[in-house]
Chains A and B, each alone.
Chain A
Amino acid sequence: MDILKKLENDFLFFDGAMGTLLQQKGLLPGTLPESWNITHPDTITQIHKTYFEAGANVVTTNTFGANPLKTDNTEELVAKAVENAKKAVYAPEQYVALDIGPTGKLLKPLGDLDFENAIKAFSVPIKAGTKAGADLIIIETMNDPYELKAAVIAAKENSDLPIFTTFVLDENGKTMTGCDVKSMVAMLEGLGVCALGVNCSLGADKLKKFIPEIVSFSSLPVIVNPNAGMPVIKDGETFFDSTPDKFLASMLEIAEMGARVLGGCCGTTPEHISKVVSALKDKKPKKIVKKSITAVSSYSKCCVFDKKAVLIGERINPTGKPKLKAALRENNMDYLISEAIGQEEKKADMLDVNVGLPEIDEAEFLERAIKEIQSVTSLPLQIDTSNTVALERAMRVYNGKPLVNSVNGKEESMTCIFPLVKKYGGALIALTLDENGIPETSEGRYEIAKKIVERAEKEGIDRKDIIVDPLCLTVSSDKNAPSITLKAIELIKRGLGVKVSLGISNVSFGLPKRDYINSTFFTLALQNGLDAVIMNPYSEEMIKAYRAYNALVGIDEVCEEYIAFASQQATEVSAVQQKEEMSLEKAILKGLKKEASEITKSLITDTPPLEIVNNYIIPALDKVGDNYEKGISFLPQLLMSAETANVAFDVVKEKISVSESNKGDIIMATVKGDVHDIGKNIVKVILQNYGYRVTDLGKDVPPETVLECVKKKNIKVVGLSALMTTTIPSMENTIKLLKSYDDSIKIVVGGAVLTPEYAKMINADKYAKDAMDTVRFVKEYYKN
């Protein structure tokens, strides 16, 4: 019988540990277990057979560590492993699962493994195992949702076998990378795996408390393959579990909770499995209830569309934002990053990311923007683009289940977007417009929504993943526009049972004090059942309306959130009132950002911008720099002042062009192999303070990328940093490459392990001991 068919009605039993049994058979510590596939094939077959005899339906191949990042002859190891396992099959309903374990590397940005390279690495055993005749793929012991996503994509792209996946939870119910159950489940269901669950790490008795959450959130068969227990020392005491009988007791409870695929991990033996099978083989598993939960996720946060409306921050969108446009044109990620962090602080639940500008390569930029933003915020992202190439690249590298903005009723849109959602997973914003434009009636918009939902379901996308946006036209040009939208919200929710979202701001277009209109319309829409809103989290009127509404309708139980919000507003007001007499210089010296911003704002009303820079900011900075050089103040104070000066600069920059304020350009990079760039970022902020424009290439930067940037921007000053002795050769290579291209390029180097002598040896022009030293070097360069 087909394994998925069997899974529809029955329990499925996986085997237990392989490693434990191999050790009993004489595998020496330090020997690669997978090597026995070739040297001891009969032993491996025998172990599989013992598990089948114990009653397991599925044995997992001895390929946990077989991937090209760990083993040289991956294909051969995997092919042999599948062959050995297949030899053990002696009855119907016995299946061979190709075992895929983690790479043992951490993915970028925290580690050095590139996402695409992870997909490539997983593809090798998947191709080999599929070719050798495995019946299914089990991707197991995963800690990082990003790595798990890479493995699932590799499986989808290289095999048609059913995909089962399990991840690892610690006692806090999270993976070691901080991902919770809901986020994992949302992502995996989106990717379309056949079964999901947990394995390893904890014994069955400790793992069981997390099973109800998985079962209640997922509509898929749930897998539970716990350890037999591990020696863990806590508060000086050692805990051990568990005997086959204890294991059985917990596994019975787990089955009762609704898990349907049961087996074991480290330390479990055929005896453990046999006990479980004997107790359950004549029983039927609990029925799987299909859930209609709308959810999107990041690497650690799951956003569920429930009673409380979801706030989607709209600030990362160039429409009407000249500063963001300029940042995009300059390929400057810092602005996007600060917008992301700012909106998170303002308590947005999700962030919209739109970087569409005619003059930039949107596909490339959007992919980069997604990677950068997800490295600084844990909020789930809404990928906002009409460019399908850009959309696919962004969905692929997104770490979680994204919200896609948007599909509409046009044939072309549905044909392009649905397959991407099917492949990478995601929820979709569906706009109620089609080839004939936006219908003027609520009913017309409902019909388009219905068409999209039905078509999506035909393509295998559940309606829970469709969030309809019934669109809102401006009230100043049509007085009925808002009520048409409000009625459409009701119709769509009632008629289709889907979630509804709105981009609010359009309603007030052309009117003064737009927030007044927006916030009242928002309240009305909430009253009609709105589930999500794309809005400006900095808008006080909107947030006031939202908090007050939630309190009034009982969503904010005991008004806790409202009170927290209101009392914060009160403290901010009194802090402003209490402000002492303060000069800009004093604010910068003391690192008081809010004050610096306010003083600059009031100065700029009657002082020319450049005068503020030259007469106020620069002298203050010089004083800070001087204090630092003299040892009166130290790096933390220098940095605080630098950050504060940047706040003042930001105010000034609104009045003067970038070119006016730019004293010169420098490219900065942390060299290939180094994944830590705090030092480089410190130097960067100080350089920016002194008016230099820094093109920051980030960390782990290959020499070719630096050269490419030098050529493209025609910048002749480059700063490189290296943290480790092992990456200095990489710095040396970068210098070699740059100097061979153009000997006049000046290179300044720094970093923990460097010395002036070493810098000379690798042919750098300057060793900078700290940030101020770099400033002096760059100043000198541009003086000449």
Chain B
Amino acid sequence: MNELYMIHANAHDMKINTNALLRRLKISKPDESMQHLITECINIVYDNANLRAVYRSNKITVDKEKNEIDFGYMKLQSCNLRVNLTGCNEAFVFVATLGVEIDRIIEKYSKVLQTKALICDTVALFLIESFCDYINEFLTGKMKSKARFSPGYGDLSISYQKDIIENLDTARRIGVTLTDSYLMVPTKSVSAIIGVTRRHGYTKKA
């Protein structure tokens, strides 16, 4: 497992686009108490998130006939992913999470203060998304790369979560586990594949 790498980050370094957040919550002009509540929820989520990710990068080979991508340690079958990875000779696979405390908080509020639960849930979705952007940027930098692709997109079966979770040893490294129905818990977790094109002979291990 020597080829597994970890990323820790501070939530407060992640940007939050409040306008986009308001749009997602469908609030056009928040009054004072709503504004106050939103700020409170942002603070709760940012203070309690524990941002961690684990990744590995490997050369990939693609079998066009079978629509199969071989990562060396796992093989995934998907036409959409194959198309996404066209021209790439390597792929990063990562799993990122906000940690289990965020689930606990949303669970608690969803039983007594549903508004808070809803807003915290939305803030957390924004935060994990910005964390993924941060990881994406960190991994690929100026390299030519493809858009992130996750199990469940197109025809990439969600059951491949199992292969990713196991091969990235996520339970031990970052505490991400899978339920029998392939839901990652902590629920604010993302798994993704990013195809890149590296020049021959150049291997930069971050």
* A-chain residues with CB within 8 Å of residue B158 when the two chains form the complex: 724-726
Which residue, of B6, B25, B101, B175, has the highest number of chain A Cβ atoms within 10 A?
B175
Q: Which residue of A lies closest to B113 (CB)?
A: A643
Q: How many A-B residue pairs have CB under 8 A?
A: 160
Q: Is the CB of B117 within 8 A of A681?
A: yes
List residues of chain A with CB within 8 A of the CB of B104.
110, 178, 375
Contact B172 A110 (CB under 8 A): no
Q: Smallest distance from the beta carbon of B49 to chain A beta carbons, Å?
A: 12
Task: Check A636 against B118 for contact (C-beta < 8 Å).
Answer: yes
Query: Do A634 and B26 touch across chains, with their CB atoms under 8 A apart?
Result: yes
Q: Is there contact, CB below 8 Å, between A231 and B5? A: yes
Across-interface contacts of B203 in A (CB, < 8 A): none
- A143 on interface, CB distance cutoff 8 Å: yes
Q: Report how far A716 CA is from B138 CA in the complex, Å.
A: 55
Cβ–Cβ contact B114 & A639, under 8 A: yes
**Per a CB cutoff under 8 Å, which of A102, A110, A634, A726 touches B185?**
A110
> Is B73 in contact with A238, judged by CB distance below 8 angstroms?
no
Q: Taking the complex as formed, is A727 at the interface, i.e. its CB lies under 8 A from any CB of chain B?
A: yes
Question: 1/0 contact trace for A389-423 toward B, CB 8 Å?
Answer: 00000000000000000000000000000000000
B33 within 8 A of A: yes
* CB-contact partner of A102 in B33, B112, B119, B171, under 8 A: B171
> Given A109-B107, A233-B7, A636-B119, do A178 and B182 touch, yes or no (CB 8 Å)?
no
Q: Taking the complex as formed, is A454 at the interface, i.e. its CB lies under 8 A from any CB of chain B?
A: no
Interface string of B134-153 (1 = CB under 8 A from A): 00001000000000000010
Please report the C-alpha to C-alpha distance between residue A135 and residue B172 in the assembled complex, in whole angstroms. Answer: 26
B183, A176: Cβ atoms closer than 8 Å: no
Q: With a CB–CB cut-off of 8 A, which chain B residues contact A106? A: 100, 177, 179, 185-186
Interface residues on chain A, number (Cβ under 8 Å) = 61
Number of B residues, CB within 8 Å of A: 54
Query: Are the CB atoms of B175 and A678 closer together than 8 Å?
Result: no
Set B25, B171, B206: member contacting A104, Cβ < 8 A: B171
A143-B175, A726-B158 known; A676 and B112 CB under 8 Å? no
- Minimum Cβ distance to chain B for residue A24 (Å): 11
Residues of A within 8 A of B107 (CB): 109-110, 375-376
Alpha-carbon distance A234/B26, docked complex (angstroms) = 36
A675 at the interface (CB under 8 A from B): yes
Q: A680 to nearest B CB, angstroms?
A: 9
Nearest CB to that of B8 among chain A residues?
A: A234
Q: Which chain A positions have C-beta within 8 A of B8?
A: 171, 232-234
Q: Bound state CA distance, A341 and B105, in angstroms? A: 12
Give the chain B neighbours of A377 by CB distance below 8 A: 108
Whether a CB of chain B sits under 8 angstroms from the CB of A591 is: yes
Asked if A677 is an interface residue, CB under 8 A from chain B, the answer is yes
Return the contact of B118 from the options A168, A231, A682 (Cβ within 8 A): A682
Q: Identify which of residues 1-36 in chain B touch chain A, using a CB-to-CB cut-off of 8 Å.
A: 1-2, 5-8, 25-27, 31, 33-34
Inter-chain CA distance A726–B178, complex, in Å, is: 13
Contacts of B50 in A (CB 8 A): 176
Quick one: given A105-B177, A674-B183, are A637 and B34 in contact (CB under 8 Å)? Answer: yes
**What 0/1 readout, one digit per residue, does chain B (165-178) give for beta carbons within 8 Å of chain A?**
00100011011011
Chain A residues, Cβ within 8 Å of B177: 104-106, 111
A678 CA / B121 CA spacing, docked (Å): 9
Collect the chain A residues with CB atoms within 8 Å of residue B174's CB.
Answer: 176
Q: Are B114 and A643 in contact, CB atoms less than 8 angstroms apart? A: yes
Question: Could you say which residues of chain A place their CB within 8 Å of the CB of B99?
Answer: 176, 178
- Contact across chains for B185 and A337 when beta carbons are under 8 A apart: no
Q: How far is the CB of B28 from chain A (nearest CB, A)?
A: 8
Closest A residue to B28 by CB, please name it: A634
